């Protein structure tokens, strides 16, 4: 550690992470940051934060909201900047060097967080202000910040004995390292397998775009033929269209066994340890199990309410999935193939059922879903709803050549913030799609600071003379992540401590955006054929509408199975002799899940929960879907999906306020009533 401290002192004047970001909108100076800057910057950030905390603690003034709660909220800005840049880059464009830094700094940051949460003198001051809350005449935002600050200390172990606090510190460090290791193993497993095909006959059924992309991947790897990977833009079309059943099996089994191969990246032991350590932590903090601890801070409040929703959906979803399986078996029988329907057959025969029942081929939609056109469609929706505009700029530093940047302006011309967009898979990019921030909106000296937000995806790449053409699922994903970006851009809070949103509420702004993706009026605006410029024909829109519920049995069932798996791990009260694979099997067997449908995420690659972001929280997507389906009905009921009054209310009551009020209270203020489940059931064809 002495070497690190000396290095920090030596490099500090030149370290761009330790200087004010002298860039437009205060975006990170990516072009100036090098690997060796991070550790010194983390060390300097921690040191500065400790000084700020010590100043609060040493103050002789009577504890007040301003000199304790607000001062604590403002503290740690330098460290926050370093963390934001590092983890954003590490997820979107990692390397061996960045992963090594992550392994080194993770336990250090865990200790630093505990040093604050378990600082008895600091907690005493926070508690003193909290106990006089009724006398302070705080506005709603300040009162919520006070409540959340106090609660965070209690949940962080401030009321524990010295011995229990020492145990908690050890558990927090172990959990953080285990979560980190799980994610690094998963990335290595995802990148570590590819199906190499040299026989062109095995490409039968695959659209030309997928063949081209696989040929490009092979060429980049120095191989002849075609290469198919475990990244979604490669594997999912293969499972959907490839006629070669054995190749489908190989690819899917490799996908399903990530982290379960008995090698250096195996995650089974990590999962068992994580579940056990989380339970220990929950019990130490006087909770029955980890789910009780996690949900105490969310909209659902307790596991019982989560299970009530999941079971309410499970039976109709499973029945729908069985109906879909029966449709596929009939197709198999007609083809005179003597095979049993298996998991690697599902997407393949689901596509054939789609064609048979609705005369629709999803590949017929791709030419109209050019990435750039979909992006313009999103801008169109945002403008119609909120009057905002987006303009691309080349003047901002970027962390990768493929990144595009856009400045967002409000209807009155004021700058709301910046959006970074990064669309395509790379070996150094985590899987999936997400929205993050390089700078959260707040106020400085009475002036609103614009947000700097980022959208990172793994979409189908362009190849040869064909641009990036999205699948319907990728199109919805783009709309989804842009909903998160709007939440960041519209945020209008004065304190970082109220900018956080409960995990099971945060998907409302993203999921409601999906509702506009395939509205006929919206499609007519952006869905243009990439070669001819022809607007998507009415016939194709009608087919899309009629088939909108196709495959919902599978989609809902695989999602719910993963949600049950996540919850069942975290309601355990005893983890002795936990066998991960047997536990997973018991969960799915008890659900009656048919063998052709594995959970969307099996335990050893379930990064949502094992990586820490959605621990005991994967249910949040369906919980939020109750909200978004009901909320979109507010637009539908007016007869105008762009109704300005409803859009204005949604922005004002939901997007701008973030965590200032209780989530249900905010929703009722917007909708006028609590959400009902009927719209969700209708949307998924489960009613």
Instruction: Tell me if domain 2-159 and domain 366-523 are identical in fold.
Output: yes
**Domain boundary assignment for the chain:** 2-159, 193-256, 288-342+550-683, 366-523
> Measuring CA to CA, how many Å separate 182 from each of 384, 441, 564?
42, 31, 20
Dump pLDDT digits (tens) for 436-456: 999 999 998 889 999 999 999
CATH number of 366-523: 1.10.1370.40
Dump pLDDT digits (tens) for 349-370: 999 999 999 999 888 999 999 9
Helix (H) or strand (E) holding 47: helix 38-58
Query: Cα–chain-centroid distance for residue 178?
Result: 20
- Work out the pLDDT band at 7, boundaries 50, 70, 90: very low
Q: How many CA atoms lie within 13 A of 324 on its CB side?
A: 31
Residue 2 pLDDT greater than 50, yes or no: no
Three-class secondary structure of residue 298 per DSSP:
coil
Residue 216 pLDDT greater than 50, yes or no: yes
Dump pLDDT digits (tens) for 293-349: 999 999 999 999 999 999 999 999 999 999 999 999 999 999 888 899 999 999 999
Q: Taking phi first (over 0 means left), then psi (-120 to 50 degrees means alpha), and beta for anything else, what does residue 609 get?
A: alpha
**Residue (of 667, 657, 577) closest to 627 by Cα position:** 667
What is the fold of 2-159? Answer: 1.10.1370
pLDDT at 6: 31
pLDDT at 362: 86
Please tell me the class of the 288-342+550-683 domain: mainly alpha
pLDDT at 14: 86
Q: Taking phi first (over 0 means left), then psi (-120 to 50 degrees means alpha), and beta for anything else, what does residue 375 get?
A: alpha
Question: Which positions are annotated as active-site residues?
Answer: 481
What is the C-alpha to C-alpha distance for residues 161 and 443, in angstroms, rounded to an integer? 38
CA-CA-CA-CA torsion sign (671, 383, 458, 35): negative
> Measuring CA to CA, how many Å separate 263 from each of 188, 229, 258, 480, 583?
11, 19, 10, 36, 21
> Measuring CA to CA, how many Å separate 437 from each of 99, 144, 475?
20, 23, 22
**Residue (of 8, 131, 12, 9) closest to 69 by Cα position:** 131
Residues with Cβ within 8 Å of residue 286, at least 6 apart in sequence = none
pLDDT at 10: 39
Mean pLDDT of 592-613: 96
pLDDT at 434: 95
pLDDT at 74: 95
Look-up: residue for tokens 């204005």?
648
Two structure tokens written together for 205? 């059924």
pLDDT at 538: 96
Question: Which pTM was predicted?
Answer: 0.93
The mean pLDDT of the chain is 95
Mean pLDDT of 529-537: 97
Residue 403 pLDDT greater than 60, yes or no: yes
Mean pLDDT of 476-490: 98
pLDDT at 12: 46
Mean pLDDT of 408-430: 95
The number of residues in the chain equals 687
Residue 11 pLDDT greater than 80, yes or no: no
Q: DSSP states of 524-575 as a string?
A: HHH-B-TTT-PBPPHHHHHHHHHTTTTTHHHHHHHHHHHHHHHHHHHT-S--
Q: DSSP states of 213-258 as a string?
A: HHHHHHHHTT-SSEEEESSHHHHHHHHHH---HHHHHHHHHHHHTT
Quote the Cα angle for 417-423-424, to 5°: 155
CA-CA-CA-CA torsion sign (165, 166, 171, 174): positive
Three-class secondary structure of residue 448 per DSSP:
strand
- The answer to whether the beta carbons of residues 268 and 581 sit under 8 Å apart is yes
**Residue (of 93, 185, 39, 79) closest to 454 by Cα position:** 93
Three-class secondary structure of residue 102 per DSSP:
helix
418 forms bridges with which residues in the sheet? 407, 452
- The answer to whether the beta carbons of residues 187 and 611 sit under 8 Å apart is no
- Work out the pLDDT band at 687, boundaries 50, 70, 90: confident
What is the C-alpha to C-alpha distance for residues 390 and 417, in angstroms, rounded to an integer? 10
- The answer to whether the beta carbons of residues 73 and 116 sit under 8 Å apart is no
What is the C-alpha to C-alpha distance for residues 455 and 468, in angstroms, rounded to an integer? 17
> Measuring CA to CA, how many Å separate 602 from each of 572, 574, 637?
18, 21, 40
Two structure tokens written together for 508? 């409302």
């Amino acid at each position: 550690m002495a070497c690190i401290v000396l290095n920090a002192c030596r490099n500090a004047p030149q370290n761009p992470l330790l200087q004010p970001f002298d860039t437009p909108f205060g975006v990170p100076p990516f072009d100036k940051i090098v690997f060796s800057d991070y550790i010194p910057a983390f060390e300097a950030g921690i040191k500065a934060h400790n000084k700020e905390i010590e100043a609060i603690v040493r103050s002789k003034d009577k504890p007040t909201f301003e000199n304790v709660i607000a001062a604590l909220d403002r503290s740690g800005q330098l460290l926050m900047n370093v963390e934001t840049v590092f983890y954003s880059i590490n997820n979107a464009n990692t390397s061996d060097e960045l992963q090594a830094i992550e392994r080194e700094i993770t336990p250090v940051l865990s200790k630093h967080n505990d040093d604050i949460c378990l600082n008895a003198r600091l907690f005493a001051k926070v508690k003193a202000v909290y106990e006089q809350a009724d006398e302070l005449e705080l506005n709603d935002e300040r009162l919520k910040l006070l409540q959340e600050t106090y609660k965070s200390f209690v949940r962080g172990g401030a009321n524990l004995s010295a011995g229990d606090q020492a145990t908690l510190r050890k558990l927090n460090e172990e959990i953080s390292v285990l979560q980190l290791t799980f994610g690094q193993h998963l990335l290595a497993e995802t990148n570590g397998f590819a199906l190499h095909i040299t026989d062109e006959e095995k490409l039968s059924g695959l659209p030309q775009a997928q063949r081209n992309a696989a040929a490009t991947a092979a060429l980049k790897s120095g191989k002849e033929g075609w290469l198919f990977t475990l990244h979604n833009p490669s594997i999912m079309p293969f499972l959907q269209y490839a006629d070669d059943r054995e190749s489908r099996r190989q690819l899917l089994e490799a996908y399903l066994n990530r982290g379960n191969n008995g090698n250096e990246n195996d995650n089974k032991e990590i999962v068992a340890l994580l579940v056990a350590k989380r339970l220990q932590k929950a019990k130490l903090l006087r909770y029955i199990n980890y789910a009780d601890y996690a949900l105490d801070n969310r909209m659902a409040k307790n596991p019982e309410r989560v299970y009530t929703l999941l079971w309410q959906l499970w039976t109709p979803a499973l029945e729908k999935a069985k109906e879909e399986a029966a449709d596929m078996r009939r197709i198999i029988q007609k083809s005179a193939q003597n095979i049993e329907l298996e998991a690697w057959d599902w997407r393949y025969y689901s596509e054939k059922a789609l064609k048979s029942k609705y005369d629709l081929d999803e590949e017929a939609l791709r030419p109209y879903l050019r990435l750039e056109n979909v992006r313009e469609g999103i801008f169109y929706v945002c403008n119609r709803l909120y009057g905002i505009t987006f303009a691309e700029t080349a003047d901002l530093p970027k962390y990768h050549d493929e990144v595009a940047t856009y400045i967002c302006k409000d209807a009155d011309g004021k700058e709301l913030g910046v959006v970074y967009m990064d669309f395509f898979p790379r070996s150094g990019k985590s899987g999936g799609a997400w929205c993050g921030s390089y700078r959260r909106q707040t106020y400085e000296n009475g002036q609103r600071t614009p947000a700097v937000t980022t959208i990172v995806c793994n979409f189908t790449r362009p190849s040869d003379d064909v641009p990036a053409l999205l699948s319907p699922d990728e199109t919805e994903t783009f709309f989804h992540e842009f909903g998160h970006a709007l939440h960041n851009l519209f945020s209008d809070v004065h304190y970082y401590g109220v900018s956080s949103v409960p995990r099971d509420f945060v998907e409302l702004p993203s999921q409601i955006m999906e509702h506009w993706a395939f509205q006929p009026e919206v499609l007519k605006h952006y869905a243009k054929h990439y070669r001819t410029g022809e607007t998507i024909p009415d016939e194709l829109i009608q087919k899309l509408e009629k088939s909108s519920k196709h495959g919902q049995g599978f989609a809902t069932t695989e999602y719910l199975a993963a949600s049950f798996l996540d919850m069942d791990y975290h309601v355990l009260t005893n983890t002795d002799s936990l066998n991960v694979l047997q536990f997973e099997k018991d969960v799915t067997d008890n659900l009656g899940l048919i063998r052709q449908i594995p959970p969307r995420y099996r335990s050893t690659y379930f990064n949502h929960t094992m990586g820490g972001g959605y621990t005991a929280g994967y249910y949040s997507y369906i919980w939020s879907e109750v909200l978004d389906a009901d909320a979109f009905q507010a637009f539908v009921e007016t007869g105008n999906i762009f109704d300005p009054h409803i859009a204005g209310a949604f922005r004002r009551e939901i997007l701008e306020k973030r965590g200032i009020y209780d989530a249900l209270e905010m929703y009722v203020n917007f909708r006028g009533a609590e959400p009902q489940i009927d719209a969700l059931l209708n949307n998924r064809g489960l009613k």
